[in-house]
Structure 1
Amino acid sequence: MLLNRRGVMLGGAAMGLMPKAALAAKVSAAQAPTEWHFDNLDRIGGHAVKVLGQPGLTTSPWGPAIVFDGAHDALLIDNHPLAGAKTFTFEAQFRPDGGAFAQRWFHLESILDPAAAPGASTTRMLFELRVADGQWYLDAFATGPGYKQTLIVPGRRYPLGQWYHVAQSFDGQHYRSFVNGELQMETPLPFAPQGPGRCSVGARLNGVDHFHGAIRMARFSPYAAM
């Protein structure tokens, strides 16, 4: 196994999440990350799943993954896995397969007003992507009281149809995004912890900007691993 200097597994375009042994050396059990495996359509990370459309199962180099059609498919989960975190790393293994230009494929949202419609919260963080000329580039986004930041570099593009590791992190001062362990963009951010809430996978919580591709795994850490 080849690791880069941040402890992320390298393997061509197919990237793994930070190994558990490396994580154990960095944090106490109380700070252990939460992992979600997208290998079924019933429960993800121990949480019940509401399925929209007809997402299905496919394969990845590491086991089963869930595939989305880019038009109708999404998963809704009543959990914000980074709620309360003062620092964080939000990672995922995914395969973008093309589709619409803008795809908001992993949406974490705090519920500030129980009566508010899904997707309407002003406190959220997302993984998005943009598809252009047969390639894609990453868009990471976080917003909340006193902060709002997009991390996007249109010139850093990658081929479609391959597996990637993506991450966004906040270390108490700087907000950063990564593809395959390589820094995309960083900026200071006056981040404040987000509250409990919900999330959607495969589309934005209000049912737009669907994702065409597959997701194998996500990891949520209450510290900056990258």
Structure 2
Amino acid sequence: MYSNSIYFSGVVLAAMLAGASCASAAPSASWRFDQTHQAGANFKALVGPDVPITGTPKYITDAQGESLSLDNQSLTLAERSSQVAAILPQQNITVSMWVSLDEGREWGGLMCVMQDTNDFERGWVLGYNESKFTFGLTSTGKKRMTYLAGKTSFVPGRWYHLAATYDGKTMSLYVNGQLEAQSTEQSGPILYPEAMPFVIGTYRDDNENFPMQGRLREAQLSKEVLTPQQIAAQFQPQATLIQLPATTIKPAKPVPGNKKVLLIGTDGTRPDKLEAANTPNIHALMNSGAYTGKAQTRMPTVSGPGWSSMLTGVWSDKHGVKNNAFTGKNYGQYPDFLTRLEKLNPKFSTFAAADWEPLLTTLSGGPLVSDNVDVKLAFKGNYEESDKTIAELSAHYLAHENVDAAFVYFGDLDEIAHSVGPLSPRYTTGLEKLDKYVGQLVAAIRSRPTYAQEDWLILMSTDHGHVDRGGHGGPSEVEKTIFFLANGPSVDKTKLKPEVGIVDVGITALAHLGIPTDPTWNLDGQVQALKSPPN
């Protein structure tokens, strides 16, 4: 049994083996990740705050007991580190864990409070880079992060004890009780980011989230710097863990195949006006596919939240975007479907084109679609001209390049509605132009030399409607009502559910590619109109 008063690496008073006092070994936070310490929707802390659980946790039992299985998942102690300020070390720090990884990656995190964006580097992270364990930290004396890399190359599925320390002068990294790297580049207190989360099992800041695949046994955080002897004493009581056979939880990755997806996004498109317009290409997709002009988005009915909900599969209370400035975005936890696809397997070939800047670029608070996507064509300026260019370049790419999933956005129709309203002849003309662009994209797909062997799903939708005079952002039905269109050999219009939401679009795209919705992703949407969605 574990003590609820003082806990250190699974053993009460273990540090006394090295001649240390009980007080010197006491952590500010300590957690054990097993069913015994699960209390409802939390892991009950041995010391410090409890860790919330998202979804249904999975456990693996070995000869030494249970551990938490994470399959591209993570734990968030707090969305803002200020919420757990009481446990955060300000200068002296020791962070330690027992961890087993199934695979390496370029930027891997195991416990962190950090921001690393271009030259803005703050906080600390215990993690891994490919097969080496790492420890990164930024101090007030340097204001740039130093990364230590250990010497040990981890074996997938084996257990390792990691510990990292900093005392205001020296950073140290230990693996299995042995010192493997040191640096004296940093000096002074730890320099924290202002509003980053405290996470376990991932490398996460405001624009990146790289969750681990493997197992967690326990973790501790201390405001004291443990000596090498104390760290060795922390490791020794469970040293037999490193002798256990390798156990990986890694499932087969989804792999690219003959199923392909094109999502066409058209901004500010009223379903009733689309249905009444002379749009033969779009109507052909409607008539031979699954279509509803009564799908719904939610308040606020503006583009930032709308496109975020469509591409991430969650509403604004989760993705965080509630305006067109994209403040509060949480794309690290809820990425767009193309980025999620890339994170599941970078072998998928992804493409995006758009002429509203924040969808693909850092302008105006973006990007919504991350740089993990293989090819992004971003345009700025005249929407009428750039829509035409997007159609031409995207059609060429779809016809001639290897692509598994694509998102193509057109913005001019929304501009027209704002200018003269959706009841105007100019808006109808804009719909007819849009129809020609859609025809170009569909023709490009069907011209592919491999088209006969492929199973293309064409999805089409919009982010919001418009009031009759032009404009949106309010709660009226014409602003909240959107359309959903799905066309392709795998579409079954009888599977289109009575209630369709904007959050269903990206999820349906992933499902067609053979990727079921993982409950731990905590998505809001549902698969629509597919004959055989994955389980």
- Paired position in structure 1 for 2:59: 57
Supply the distance in 2 between the matched residues of 1:85 and 1:169 (Cα, whole angstroms).
12
- Paired position in structure 2 for 1:160: 156
2:152 corresponds to 1:146: no
Q: Secondary structure at the match of 1:98?
A: coil
Higher relative contact order (CA 8 A, sep 6+): 1
Count of residues in Structure 1 that have an aligned counterpart in Structure 2:
196
Trace 1:1-226 onto structure 2 (pairs within 5 A): 17=9, 19-24=11-16, 25-27=19-21, 29=23, 32-33=26-27, 34-39=29-34, 40=38, 42-45=42-45, 47-52=49-54, 55-70=57-72, 73-78=73-78, 79=84, 82-98=87-103, 100-109=105-114, 122-131=121-130, 136-147=131-142, 148-153=145-150, 156-188=152-184, 189-193=186-190, 198-206=197-205, 208-225=209-226, 226=228
- The Cα shift of 1:184 comes to 1.4
- The Cα shift of 1:27 comes to 3.9
Q: Secondary structure at the match of 1:29?
A: helix
Supply the distance in 1 between the matched residues of 2:10 and 2:183 (Cα, whole angstroms).
23
- Which one has the bigger helix percentage? 2
Supply the distance in 2 between the matched residues of 1:27 and 1:87 (Cα, whole angstroms).
17
Gaps of 5+ in 1: 1-15, 110-117
Task: Give the counterpart letter for 2:102 in structure 1.
Answer: D
- List per-residue Cα deviations over 1:2-37 (Å, max 9, x = no partner): xxxxxxxxxxxxxx9485434355246386213211
In structure 2, do the counterparts of structure 1 residues 157 and 192 end up closer, same or farther at CA, with 3 Å as the change threshold?
same
Task: Give the counterpart letter for 1:23 in structure 2.
Answer: A
In structure 2, do the counterparts of structure 1 residues 64 and 81 end up closer, same or farther at CA, with 3 Å as the change threshold?
farther
Supply the distance in 2 between the matched residues of 1:210 and 1:32 (Cα, whole angstroms).
28
Native 8 Å contact 1:137 1:158 kept in 2: yes
- List per-residue Cα deviations over 1:145-164 (Å, max 9, x = no partner): 333210014x5312111111
Native 8 Å contact 1:123 1:143 kept in 2: yes
Supply the distance in 2 between the matched residues of 1:119 and 1:145 (Cα, whole angstroms).
15
Give the alignment's TM-score, normalised by structure 2.
0.33
Q: Secondary structure at the match of 2:204?
A: coil
Q: Secondary structure at the match of 2:210?
A: coil
Native 8 Å contact 2:128 2:134 kept in 1: yes
Aligned alpha-carbon RMSD (Å): 3.2
In structure 2, do the counterparts of structure 1 residues 168 and 30 end up closer, same or farther at CA, with 3 Å as the change threshold?
closer
Supply the distance in 1 between the matched residues of 2:54 and 2:204 (Cα, whole angstroms).
11
- Which one has the bigger strand percentage? 1
Supply the distance in 1 between the matched residues of 2:190 and 2:87 (Cα, whole angstroms).
8
In structure 2, do the counterparts of structure 1 residues 23 and 80 end up closer, same or farther at CA, with 3 Å as the change threshold?
farther
Native 8 Å contact 1:31 1:222 kept in 2: no
Supply the distance in 1 between the matched residues of 2:57 and 2:116 (Cα, whole angstroms).
21
Task: Give the counterpart letter for 2:88 in structure 1.
Answer: A
Supply the distance in 2 between the matched residues of 1:80 and 1:92 (Cα, whole angstroms).
20
Deviates more, 1:144-153 or 1:162-171: 144-153
Native 8 Å contact 1:90 1:168 kept in 2: yes
- The Cα shift of 1:103 comes to 1.7
- List per-residue Cα deviations over 1:87-121 (Å, max 9, x = no partner): 22111000011154432222124xxxxxxxx8878
- The Cα shift of 1:52 comes to 4.6
Q: Secondary structure at the match of 1:209?
A: strand
Supply the distance in 2 between the matched residues of 1:28 and 1:48 (Cα, whole angstroms).
22
- The Cα shift of 1:81 comes to 6.9
The percent of aligned pairs where both chains have the same amino acid is 19
- The Cα shift of 1:82 comes to 4.9
Native 8 Å contact 2:15 2:22 kept in 1: no
- The Cα shift of 1:180 comes to 0.4
